[in-house]
């Protein structure tokens, strides 16, 4: 069973553009917010992984917009590890309002050594997320 993390986020005025909707690039920040919490739930935050010598730079980002969010909307932002392939991990995300899908997408990360920036095996917490064995 897939391990999925969902957080709530109320859209501040600063996140909107001149048209009154959430600026498109902010959705990638929303993806990062929930991704951080997904990892934190494994007791291995980004900070902890970096201290252990592993970083997760984004090497691909995709965001598909279905419907706009606006100021003061309460969003449900979810993330889960979709798959692992070698040193790459794909984390899927979606943004909903009252259960309605607004935006979906994913980021692909390379697991790399903090000093050499060379690919390394994914840390155990990410493997566990991919296998659905974390809670």
Q: Which residue ranges in the chain fall short of pLDDT 50?
A: 134-135
Contact 90, 4 (CB under 8 A): no
pLDDT at 135: 41
The two tokens of residue 55 are 């970083």
- Interatomic CA distance for residues 96 and 72, integer angstroms: 14
Q: What is the pLDDT of residues 13-50, one digit of tens each?
A: 999 999 999 999 999 999 999 999 999 998 888 888 99
Residue 45: what pLDDT?
84
* Owning domain of residue 110: 4-131
| Long-range Cβ contacts of 126-129 (<8 Å, 24+ apart) | 126/39, 126/42, 126/81, 126/84, 126/89, 127/84, 128/3, 128/42, 129/3, 129/38, 129/42, 129/80, 129/81
As a whole number of angstroms, the distance between CA 76 and CA 99 comes to: 8
- Answer yes or no: 41 catalytic: no
Number of domains forming the structure of the chain: 1
Query: How high is the pLDDT of residue 108?
Result: 97
Supply the CATH number for residue 69's domain: 3.10.129.10
Q: How many Å apart are CA 63 and CA 22, to the nearest integer?
A: 13
The pLDDT of residue 124 is: 87
- Residue-level pLDDT at 21: 97
Catalytic pick among 17, 41, 43, 128: 17
pTM of the model: 0.91
């Amino acid at each position: 069973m897939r391990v999925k993390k969902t957080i709530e986020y109320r859209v501040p005025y600063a996140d909107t553009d001149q048209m009154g909707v959430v600026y498109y690039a902010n959705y990638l920040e929303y993806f990062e917010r929930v991704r951080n919490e997904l990892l934190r739930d494994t007791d291995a935050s980004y900070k902890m992984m970096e201290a252990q010598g592993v970083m997760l730079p984004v090497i691909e980002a995709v965001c598909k917009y279905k419907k706009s969010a606006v100021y003061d909307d309460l969003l449900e932002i979810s993330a889960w590890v979709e798959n692992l392939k070698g040193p790459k991990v794909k984390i899927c995300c979606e943004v909903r309002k009252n259960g309605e899908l607004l935006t979906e997408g994913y980021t692909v990360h390379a697991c790399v050594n903090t000093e050499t920036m060379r690919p390394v095996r994914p840390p155990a917490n990410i493997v566990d997320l991919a296998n659905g064995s974390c809670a």
